[in-house]
Amino acid sequence: MTTPSTSANAIPLARYGIGEMVRHRLLDFRGVIFDVDPEFANSDEWYEAIPEAMRPAKDQPFYHLLAENAESSYVAYVSQQNLVPDDEGEPIDHPAIGTLFEGFDGTGYKLKPEHRH
């Protein structure tokens, strides 16, 4: 019988799931998760554009968010280390919410059936 790997090189499990609401730990924005990469899966140019002092490790989950701040809504790509739960209890104001999710239940969003796999 084999046991799951517990090596120091194992990629951490995703802490958050699709439909959960989160906030960025350092920057002033919040969002709802619509996809998760088990480790960094964006371009080197994107990664290098992050100031070195703030640059997260690549070997952790990264989350795709429908995000908002006080000025606008946009799509964000954020490392697990830079997210915290959003306990505001208010829906996210993003124009794409209705295309991916059924609606806000007071704590998060439920993915539409056609987007589940």
Domain membership flag for residue 33: yes
pLDDT band at 77 (very low <50, low <70, confident <90, very high): very high
Give the number of domains in the chain. 1
pLDDT band at 1 (very low <50, low <70, confident <90, very high): very low
Distance CA 76, CA 25 (A): 13
Domain ranges, residue 47? 21-115
Q: What is the pLDDT of residues 36-75, one digit of tens each?
A: 999 999 999 999 999 998 899 999 999 999 999 999 999 9
pLDDT at residue 4 tops 90 = no
For residue 111 the two structure tokens come to: 């993915």
Distance CA 106, CA 102 (A): 13
Domain membership flag for residue 13: no
For residue 115, the model assigns a pLDDT of 85
